[in-house]
């Protein structure tokens, strides 16, 4: 249940951090620290989890300090993908006071948001423990944050889904009519996909599932089905395709859905509605 | 209780939309629509609120379609800052099918997130109705989304706070020790601030409040005080300063806090933890 | 043998065009046209294929004119993915003379390069006609041009490969030692990959192929094998995995390699060494 | 015959490298290395020329590793502008395995492409050895790569041409009609050019050459002339102008063209059609 | 009279420096240094004030050298906000000759421009010494340079004004008609402004001033008034509002305007028309 | 004496305008117009020259309005490069009031600054009328504004100089020592320069001029020479090279310097110290 937690390369997250910093600094910068904190002041502070949760984004969030000043030292105490009890110290930050206070909110916003997603994911993973179902997210992410939010899902123990519109074909209901039905859509998708691009088809009924399997679909999304229907879908498929349950699966339904035997459960609320983890910076 | 809802200039939000689109399209684009939707196909679709809520970001989110194709027509049916019942049509989109399906998720993610914030704000504003207290947000926003998230708060009927570190001085607890106390901090802040820059001081006790008022502070943040203390702070201040209650104010405490007579209540959870409004695109 | 030729969304290629234009215009712009062409001059010109070839990038390349002046009209005569005889008119451009001459080279450079790749691909596709083998490219592309170069391969009748390091797992020789061998690598890759991410393993010997198949690999790259070995690999695999022949496959070997029964042949030279198609702009 | 080989400032090439890396990493990064290579693994590898050629871009290409990880050490063994025999080690790279494998392809693509151009240039320079003719490139470069491709030409022993539309006036055939002929064009160009901006006029006949010389042109491009005509042009000019032969000069014609006495020979194929040099990364 | 001189964070000014460098280097770089300065040459140089003035931008301008080469050492001798006599050494720069000469002009242009503004501001501050008036700038700044130009004003001893359109409400004459007059405008502004956003109203007559004060305006700009009128405005206001004199206040009027008792005097010419300070780089 | 006034392509100036707008709008936008101007209000305004001057940047500056709203109409009344009397209308702007007021300052800042430079240049050109000397600028420009500032010089009747470090070789005093003297520097420069790149050498004495001429220099900068020395330099050169007088040439010395017979006079103060032209927006 521990999360896969290899943070993305700095070549990926530094532009995001730079944009986040620019948003907070504007062109006039941190006028408060400039006005009231002496240039020579130093401090030592701890980033603390005020409530318990699964940590994600600690390396990324604290990298903001190095972008502000080379003299700031950061020591990460809890690895991404680990569970932190309430009150635990996630990292320490020390050095010149002004740039530390300047970067504080940007760092905390990132860590809080990503840890919130990881914490929600971890709870979902726990709820399906003992079944073969994997938890994953969707493309219902915050604009500009998808890479980091998908990473937070992995830190929470979840699996990956499409990164965007570009890395897999996912034929949804709105496509099907335009494509001339499931069989035609699967054929068209195969023609476009190279040998490394996966194809998934969304179905809403068992009849559609039958058509998709007959068309040779290897991955099928079962949209908004109740648990008995999901169970019949699993039986009907009999291992011929990977089955993903999706659509309106609330936390209280997770165990039941997982018990139907589906392979993957995808949850939009992990990214669009999970509350942030409460993290703070305490000057010691 | 209706929200102030003048969307930001397109010069501001178009770069954000472009980044959000780039994230979803990558370099290979929407391979599904390319593969299964005929180039000549057209469609007409409705953006629908699946649950009731306060709308925000409709003009902004639907602008994504014009960035993809000049032939897409958008008709906004519900203005930002209005309340939409469940099932209501917020906007219609019509034109070539491929680019509409390509832009769908980016548009919905924006509208869903901003409307979620507006909806949460509207509930908070309703909870304090009849008092003089204004609801506002904080800098605990999603990295890269602050401008739009603060706009969503206004669409929900809330007021503005600092946009960033640059447009007001806000002396917080971590600054005070380094600054040599409240009196010194207020003096230093005044020296830096021009005649248009506001100065706010955060206090945690009534004693500190007294010191702040004596130092001439005109705006004071009352951090994490219980309601009786807030009430005494209001009495003690007697109109000499604007008072902002902040820190850990949950929805159920809102009415009580507002009743103490504070002028402003700031809520981090409006932006860091409000769930998205459920919006979808239905092809008609 | 006609190419799949849906050009990428303008949201993808416009930033590339803007960078290409900026490179040619610098900050002082087209001083020649400014100096010697009257502001009021207009012209009508044809983009012509000086030698025969498969066309790619025509919509993209000519989009540069609209970025320079709203008054320039472009009429595309040959669709991407079609074969153009020598001397044929690919498109016409008409309007104010200065901006047309300013954009000429940027447009031609793009069309020439992409059509050169499409032309080379088309020849490779023709060479394997009648076999089941598909032609594809690699990541050996020009820095900054991968999306467009992969598109040109599709316009030439080829198929897609990985877009980058992010959309599929491809375990190569340099990974294998570090991963502890094929079996361990396949297991590790499965743990990381979500249900939509494909996994391919590169092998250099039939023994390695056996280990990969035993580990359950579904896609295997056969690196630098001669045709008899490829044939034995096909027999040994017996349909259990998709087989990609790769590494040093020159044009003259294509038919022979395809005849071994491999599913995919990937060719780096389509992008790193194909000559540009000779295209020019003739003022009529 | 050794090449001028001062690499451009990092302020110039780092943005190009960052864009190239971003293209390969996307937002999800190098999922293969993340999945199968242990975080603690290190390696030592050699960048090797698999065939003989003139090296260019080694400093630039290997700079990609420092952008990924501060712990990677690079030792360049062959300077840009030098000739490398087949199998020779151009550079060594050592440090943490993951980021080295992540940067491998981006580095090799750059080095391979630039060295391919340098190698083609070197061959052209060799072909005209003993004459006074200098070899140069054109603006027929890969979009986004002109600065580096022109640098590769210099590393191959070639000379510079215009960098873009902005740094010299070059009146071509399409300009001449609009400008009212050669004499008018030269006069207009002189009026616009400051004292540091060169003016070149393209002519297609000896009659035009005569007009250009009479108009005082100091640099003339002789477009698509056969060798006898070029020879007569040289005689007719008698040192009054620098003469550049251009247009359709294939490798086999180079010696002959140079022997006519022209000062400069410009070759588009150095950049639009030269094959890449085959370079690889061998883990030792 | 010494200036407030905390330079903005490098996160703010580095993108500006990068753009300035890119403008001077283009894509071909510093061809002169490359051509005539040996790669191994080193130098030691001094940045010298050729005329006396108030220094600003020294840390920022010299940061350009570190962006070009890690081996360049910079020692700042005069802090921003200090007065430098003619001929004094502001900083020393030492290290590899090529990148120092490459960065010279970019560094000097920044230091010269910002010090010119600081010097003009300092003179204005001196002219009003002994009165309570503060000198400030306006939004009449050089496009792209506002943050640094406002910083230079502070280094000259001046105060801040609005940074942009976003951080304060300033109702000017062109707004008033559209808003329905002063009283309506003040009410509308209050509705939009949060508790930290200041509101200023511009008036042109004493009658308008009376209306503004009656409407509760706390900050009023007195536009283009002569000194007797300003004096009456001060009397009429009697401390109820901060008064800013603005519009056509030439250096020779400064003392007289300040003597009227206004709180703030804003001067557009500090940024749009102050001559640069003459600074140079002397190789020692 | 009228100026060359072909404005740069919008592909060049739009990014500069976008940056300037972003600086003024920040992320919260024009809060004043949003607050006090009704959404439906329209206006018609005139851009007026408050003092007489040479106009530059009118097309560029007013392009800002189209970036804010498609409904704004702009009519340019005075072409760049023309002289405008005090009070004359340069352009009219009409349409929705809010975006016009939002763009006002950005447009005026650009027009004022560029027209200020054009006006100063025009005066300098007038001062040398009747001589053969051309007036030009230098690289002492505002960071980020060089392209537009050099354009303003041309609009003022001046000529071009180097655009940056990349488009010509200019060997200055600091290079000479490192290069081993003038003769060596000229030789090294020739080796690097292609046939279109000009080479200029700076000299401070007549002896150096002699050495430069002997080395074959075709363009020589005479640095900081008094008029008698300049005259002797002209005689000594006798037409063998273009001579540029540079360094400390104040307006009152212009006629005298021009009379010495130099070909070019370059003036740093045109860009680093010319006051802006006073332009305003009057709502009619």
Query: How much is the pLDDT for C105?
Result: 97
Q: In chain B, count H helices and then E strands.
A: 11, 12
Using CB atoms, pick whichever of E134, E195, E242 lies closest to residue B242. Answer: E195
Chain C residues touching A194 at Cβ < 8 A: 134, 136, 159-161, 264
* One domain for residues B131 and B250: yes
Summarised one tens digit per residue, pLDDT across range C171-208 is 999 999 899 999 999 999 999 999 999 999 999 999 99
> For testing the chain E interface, which of C19, C25, C27, C29 should be mutated: the one with the most E CBs within 10 Å?
C27
First vs last Cα of chain E: how many Å apart?
33
Taking each helix axis as running N to C, give the angle between helix A10-25 and helix D58-68, from 0 to 180 degrees, rounded to the nearest 10: 70
Handedness of CA F188, F192, F195, F201 (dihedral sign): negative
Count the helices and strands in chain A (H runs, E runs): 11, 12
| Binary contact (C26, F163; C-beta < 8 A) | yes
Q: Say if residues D134 and F195 touch (Cβ distance below 8 Å).
A: yes
Q: Quickly count: other Cβ atoms within 10 Å of residue D220's Cβ.
A: 24
State how far the Cα of B57 lies from the Cα of A143, in Å rounded to an integer: 13
Query: In terms of Cα–Cα distance, which of C62, C126, C137, C131 is closest to C100?
Result: C62
B213 vs B236: CA distance, rounded Å: 9
E48 and E158 both lie in a single domain? no
F-chain residue closest to C19, CA distance: F11
Q: Which residue of E has its CA nearest to D166?
A: E26
Instruction: Classify the phi-psi angles of A208: left when phi > 0, otherwise alpha if psi is within -120 to 50, otherwise beta.
Output: alpha
pLDDT in tens, F106-160: 999 999 999 999 999 999 999 999 999 999 999 999 999 999 999 999 999 999 9
The proportion of chain C whose per-residue pLDDT surpasses 90, expressed as a percent, equals 94
Residues A203 and A220: their CA atoms lie apart, in Å, by 7
Strand partners of residue F244: F221, F264
- Residue D246 token pair: 């251009």
| Averaged pLDDT score across all residues of chain C | 95
Three-state DSSP class for residue B2: coil
- Percentage of residues in chain F with pLDDT exceeding 90? 94
Q: With 60 as the cut, is the pLDDT of residue B241 above it?
A: yes
Average pLDDT over residues A190-200: 95
Collapse the DSSP code of E95 into the 3-class scheme (helix H, G, I; strand E, B; otherwise coil) and give the result.
Answer: strand
CATH number at residue D184: 3.20.20.70
Same domain, C55 and C132: no
Give chain A's end-to-end CA distance (angstroms, integer): 33
Domain shared by A56 and A180, yes or no? no
Please indicate, yes or no, whether residues F53 and F190 belong to a single structural domain of this protein. Answer: no
Tell me which chains share at least 3 CB pairs under 8 Å with chain C.
A, B, D, E, F
User: Would you put residue F157 in left (φ > 0), alpha (ψ -120 to 50) or beta?
Assistant: left
Q: Chain C to chain E, count of Cβ pairs less than 8 Å apart?
A: 5
CA-nearest residue to F34 within chain B is B6
Share of chain B above pLDDT 90, in %: 94
For residue A76, count other CB atoms closer than 10 A to its CB: 15
Q: pLDDT tens digits for E56-104? A: 999 999 999 999 999 999 999 999 999 999 999 999 999 999 999 999 9
- Measured CA to CA, the distance from residue D172 to residue D175 in angstroms comes to 5
Instruction: Give the pLDDT band of residue A1 (cuts 50, 70, 90).
Output: very low
Q: Which domain holds residue D65?
A: 10-119+275-283
CB contact under 8 A, D27 and A8: yes
* Claim to verify: residue D198 and residue D89 sit in the same structural domain: no
ipTM of the prediction: 0.95
Asked if the Cβ–Cβ distance from D196 to F167 is below 8 Å, we say: yes
State the alpha helices, DSSP H only, in chain A.
Answer: 10-25, 31-36, 58-68, 97-127, 146-155, 173-179, 182-192, 206-214, 227-237, 254-258, 269-272
Tell me the Cα Rg of chain A. 22
In a domain, A2, yes or no: no
| Residues of chain E where predicted confidence (pLDDT) is lower than 70 | 1-4
Lowest mean pLDDT among A71-75, E38-42, E211-215, F10-14: F10-14
Q: Within a 10 A sphere around the Cβ of B226, how many other Cβ atoms?
A: 11
- Residue E51 per-residue DSSP state: S
Q: For the segment D236-272, what is each residue's pLDDT rounded down to a tens digit?
A: 999 999 999 999 899 999 999 999 999 999 999 999 9
B1 pLDDT exceeds 50? no
Q: Which class for D228: exposed (0-12), middle (13-18), buried (19 or more C-beta within 10 A)?
A: exposed
Higher pLDDT, E116 or F7: E116
pLDDT confidence bin for B3, thresholds 50/70/90: low
Q: Which one, of A102, A191, A114, A189, lies nearest residue A158 by Cα?
A: A114
pLDDT tens, residue by residue, D111-150: 999 999 999 999 999 999 999 999 999 999 999 999 999 9
Answer yes or no: are the C-beta atoms of C105 and D139 closer than 8 Å.
yes
Rg (CA), chain F: 22
Burial of D252 (0-12, 13-18, 19+ CB in 10 A): exposed
**Do D79 and D142 share a domain, yes or no?**
no
pLDDT per residue as tens digits for the range B166-200:
999 999 999 998 999 999 999 999 999 999 999 99
pLDDT value, residue C5: 75
Which positions in chain F touch C102 (Cβ < 8 Å)?
A: 9
Q: Strand pairing of E219-223 and E199-203?
A: parallel
**Dihedral angle of Cα C241, C245, C247, C252, to the nearest 10 degrees:** 180
Q: Does any domain span residue C4?
A: no
Over residues A117-134, the pLDDT tens digits come to: 999 999 999 999 999 999
CATH of the domain at B20: 3.90.1170.20
Establish if F148 belongs to a structural domain.
Answer: yes
DSSP string for residues in C19-82: HHHHHHHTTT--HHHHHHS-TT-EEEEEEEESS-EE---HHHHHHHHHHH-TT-EEEE-S-TTS
Residue E1: its pLDDT value, please? 43
Task: Give CA–CA dist C84/F106, Å, rounded.
Answer: 49
Q: Which of F22, F27, F29 to mutate to test the interface with A (most CBs of A within 10 A)?
A: F27
Which of A28, A38, A48, A46 is CA-nearest to residue A96? A38
Q: Chain A contacts of F22, Cβ < 8 Å?
A: none
Closest CA to B12 of F60, A105, A26: A26
Does residue E221 form part of some domain?
yes
pLDDT at C248 over 60: yes
Residue C177 vs residue C152, higher pLDDT: C152
Give the burial string for C10-28 (b: 16+ CB within 10 Å, else e): bbbbbebbeebbbbbbbbb
> Averaged over B132-148, what is the pLDDT?
95
Residue D4 has pLDDT above 80, yes or no: no
Same domain, yes or no, for C114 and C229? no
Classify residue C251 by its DSSP letter.
G
Closest alpha carbon to A138 in A122, A125, A149, A123:
A149
**F3 is a domain residue:** no
- F27 in any annotated domain: yes
Domain membership flag for residue C3: no
**Confidence class of residue C1 from pLDDT cuts 50, 70 and 90?**
very low
DSSP F195: T
Q: Tens digits of per-residue pLDDT, C107-145?
A: 999 999 999 999 999 999 999 999 999 999 999 999 999
- Give the tokens for residue E151: 């910083």
Q: What is the pLDDT of residue F6?
A: 85
CB within 8 Å of D116: residues ≥ 6 apart = C272, C273, D53, D274, D275, D276, D277
Please check whether residues C57 and C74 belong to one and the same domain.
Answer: yes
Residues A90 and A178 in one domain: no
Checking if the pLDDT of A112 tops 80, the result is yes
Q: Is residue B2 part of a domain?
A: no
Q: What is the pLDDT of residue E119?
A: 98
Of F4, F162, F191, nearest to D196 by CB-CB distance is: F162
Structural domain total, chain E: 2
Identify whether residues A77 and A150 lie together within a single domain: no
- Asked if residue F257 and residue F134 are part of one domain, the reply reads yes
Question: Which residues from E are below 8 Å from F41, CB to CB?
Answer: 178
CA torsion angle for E219, E223, E229, E232 (degrees, to 10)?
0
Q: How far apart are the C-alpha atoms of E162 and E128, rounded to whole Å? A: 22
Chain C contacts to B (CB-CB under 8 A): 6, 8-12, 146-147, 150, 160, 163-164
- Whether D167 is catalytic: no
DSSP F251: G
């Amino acid at each position: 249940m521990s999360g896969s937690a290899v943070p993305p390369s700095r070549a990926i997250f530094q532009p995001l951090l730079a944009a986040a910093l620019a948003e907070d600094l504007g062109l006039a910068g941190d006028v408060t620290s400039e006005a009231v904190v002496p240039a020579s002041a130093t401090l030592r502070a701890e980033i603390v989890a005020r409530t318990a949760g699964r940590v994600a984004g600690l390396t990324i969030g604290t990298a903001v300090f190095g972008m502000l000043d080379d003299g700031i030292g950061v020591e990460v105490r809890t690895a991404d993908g680990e569970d932190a009890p309430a009150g635990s110290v996630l990292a320490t930050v020390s050095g010149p006071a002004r740039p530390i206070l300047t970067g504080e909110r940007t760092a905390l916003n990132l860590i809080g948001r990503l840890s919130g997603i990881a914490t929600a994911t971890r709870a979902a993973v726990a709820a399906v423990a003992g079944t073969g179902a994997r938890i994953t997210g969707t493309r219902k992410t915050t604009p500009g944050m998808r890479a980091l939010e998908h990473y937070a899902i992995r830190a929470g123990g979840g699996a990956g889904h499409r990164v965007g519109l570009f890395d897999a074909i996912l034929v949804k209901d709105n496509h099907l009519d335009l494509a001339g039905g499931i069989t035609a859509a699967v054929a068209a998708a195969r023609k476009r996909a190279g040998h490394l691009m996966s194809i998934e088809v969304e179905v809403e009924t068992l009849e559609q599932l039958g058509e998709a399997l007959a068309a040779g679909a290897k991955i099928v999304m079962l949209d908004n089905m109740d648990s008995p229907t999901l169970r019949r879908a699993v039986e009907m498929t009999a291992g011929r395709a990977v089955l993903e349950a999706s659509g309106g699966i609330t936390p209280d339904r997770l165990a039941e859905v997982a018990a139907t035997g589906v392979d993957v459960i995808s949850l939009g609320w992990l990214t669009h509605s999970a509350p942030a983890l409460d993290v703070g910076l305490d000057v010691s």
